[in-house]
C-alpha cells in the first residue's frame, strides 16, 4: 500500500524541512518524506530566507536553541521564520511537529502555549490519537479513526484560555486528541495534561497544523508502525486533487 | 547607561508543575507552612542609553516580544542608572 502511494504521487509535491540549531528530527522528516514516501524534499537552514518553492513546509522536532527561555521562543525569530509566516499568511501549508508546534505557537501562527507535562516527566511512548475532524487537508484522506504515533516530549501540555478553546471547538480546529486504542478521549488517556487531551490543532484557515507526536517516526514499515504516513499522504493527495 | 532587572511570573491561573514539584520537596524537608510555590524568571541586562524614556521603551518591548509570553506570563521591570 505504501509503495503504491509512493509511485502514484512520486516527486510531484515538494516538502521543505527547516533545520534550526538544536533540531533533531529534521533528518527523520527528510528521510520519511523522501526515501519512504517518495516526495521531493528540500532541506532548509534557519538562516536562509528562501523556501525553495516548497509546497509544504515542515518545522521539525528537537530542542531549538536549547529550549532556552521558552520552547520555540528564540527559533521563532530565525530569518527563515519571516518567510514561513509570509508563506502561511498566503495560505501555504505548514506542519509543525513537536518543537515545530511550539515554534508555531510562539510565532502566533497557532493559538495557545505549551506547559511542562503535568507529570513533570519526559514522555517517550507510542500515543493513540483520535482523529477529531477531517475538515482539513491533513486528515481529509485518513480512513482510520485512531492512529498510533510516537510522542517524545517534556513540554507538550497544551494550554489556552477558555475563550480560545471555545473558538478551537467552534471552528473545528482540534484535529487530534490523546485517546485509548479504541478512541476513548477520557481524562485517563490524557498523555500529558493537555487541555481537552489536545495533541494537534490547526489554525482557523486550516492550512497550518501543529502536533506534538511525531508522524515522521511512523512511516517506514521497518519500524512496524506506519500511521504517520497517513497524514503526509493525506496532504499530498489533497494537493494533487 | 541603565541596568534593567526583569521579573517574569507565571499568571496566577496557570498551572506551574515545576513549583508544585519543588513544593513536594519542601514538604519532605518538613517545611509544612510552605504553600503556593511558584517559579518565575529573573533576568538582568544593560541598556546602553542615557535617555530614560528610550530605555523604558526598549525594556518593555524586549519583555513583550521575547522575554515573556503574554498568554501565560506577566512581567515587571525596574531601571537603575549606572
Q: Using alpha carbons only, how large is chain B's radius of gyration in Å? A: 16
First and final C-alpha spacing in chain B: 6
- Total-model pTM: 0.91
- A72 pLDDT exceeds 80? yes
Q: Is residue A216 flagged as an active site residue?
A: yes
Dist CA B34 CA B54 (whole Å): 41
Q: Are residues B69 and A117, on separate chains, in Cβ contact within 8 Å? A: no
Task: Give the tens place of pLDDT for each residue, A96-119.
Answer: 999 999 999 999 999 999 999 998
DSSP secondary structure string for all residues of A28-87: HHHIIIIIIT--EEEEEETT----TT-SEEEE--B-GGGG-SSTTTTGGGSHHHHHHHHH
- B61 pLDDT exceeds 60? yes
Number of domains in chain A: 1
Q: Give the B window 28-67 contacts with A, CB below 8 Å.
A: 66-67
Q: Where is pLDDT greater, at A121 or A11?
A: A121
Dist CA A139 CA A177 (whole Å): 13
Q: Which three cell numbers stand for residue A24?
A: 533533531
Continuous segment of H or E residues that includes residue B60: helix B52-62
The residue segments making up the domain with residue A154 are 2-240
- State the pLDDT confidence band at A234, using cuts at 50, 70 and 90: very high
Q: Is residue A35 flagged as an active site residue?
A: no
CATH number assigned to the domain covering B2-81: 3.30.1280.10
B72 contacts in chain A (CB < 8 Å):
113, 115, 159
CB A48 within 8 Å of CB A79: yes
Tell me, what's the pLDDT at B27? Answer: 94
Cα–Cα nearest to A102, from A173, A55, A159: A159
CB A128 within 8 Å of CB A104: no
Q: Is residue A42 flagged as an active site residue?
A: no
A235: CATH: 3.40.50.880
Cα–Cα nearest to A156, from A102, A214, A111: A102
CB A148 within 8 Å of CB A126: yes
- A9 pLDDT exceeds 70? no
What ipTM was reported for this prediction? Answer: 0.81
Amino acid at each position: 500500500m505504501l509503495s503504491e502511494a509512493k509511485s502514484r504521487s512520486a516527486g510531484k509535491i515538494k516538502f521543505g524541512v527547516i533545520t534550526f540549531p538544536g533540531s533533531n528530527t529534521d533528518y527523520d522528516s527528510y528521510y520519511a518524506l523522501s526515501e519512504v514516501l517518495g516526495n521531493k524534499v528540500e532541506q532548509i537552514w534557519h538562516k536562509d530566507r528562501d523556501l525553495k518553492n516548497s509546497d509544504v513546509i515542515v518545522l521539525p522536532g528537537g530542542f531549538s536553541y536549547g529550549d532556552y527561555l521558552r520552547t520555540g521562543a528564540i527559533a521563532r525569530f530565525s530569518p527563515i521564520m519571516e518567510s514561513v509566516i509570509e508563506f502561511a499568511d498566503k495560505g501555504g501549508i505548514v506542519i509543525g511537529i513537536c518543537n515545530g508546534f511550539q515554534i508555531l505557537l510562539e510565532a502566533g501562527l497557532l493559538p495557545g502555549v505549551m506547559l511542562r507535562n503535568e507529570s513533570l516527566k519526559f514522555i517517550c511512548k507510542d500515543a493513540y490519537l483520535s482523529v477529531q475532524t477531517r475538515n482539513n487537508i491533513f486528515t481529509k484522506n485518513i480512513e482510520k479513526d485512531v492512529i498510533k504515533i510516537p510522542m517524545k516530549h517534556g513540554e507538550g501540555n497544551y494550554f489556552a484560555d477558555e475563550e480560545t478553546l471555545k473558538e478551537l471547538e467552534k471552528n473545528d480546529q482540534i484535529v487530534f486528541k490523546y485517546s485509548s486504542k479504541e478512541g476513548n478521549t477520557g481524562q485517563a488517556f490524557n498523555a500529558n495534561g493537555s487541555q481537552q487531551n489536545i495533541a494537534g490543532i490547526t489554525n482557523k484557515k486550516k492550512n497550518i497544523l501543529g502536533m506534538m507526536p511525531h508522524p515522521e517516526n511512523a512511516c517506514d514499515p521497518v519500524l512496524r508502525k506506519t500511521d504517520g504516513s497517513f497524514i503526509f499522504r493525506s496532504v499530498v493527495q489533497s494537493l494533487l486533487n | 547607561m541603565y541596568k534593567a532587572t526583569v521579573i517574569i511570573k507565571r499568571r496566577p491561573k496557570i498551572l506551574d508543575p515545576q513549583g508544585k514539584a519543588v513544593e513536594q520537596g519542601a514538604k519532605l524537608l518538613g517545611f509544612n507552612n510552605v504553600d503556593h510555590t511558584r517559579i518565575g524568571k529573573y533576568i538582568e541586562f544593560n541598556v546602553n542609553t542615557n535617555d530614560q524614556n528610550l530605555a523604558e521603551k526598549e525594556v518593555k518591548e524586549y519583555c513583550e516580544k521575547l522575554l515573556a509570553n503574554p498568554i501565560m506570563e506577566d512581567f515587571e521591570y525596574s531601571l537603575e542608572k549606572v
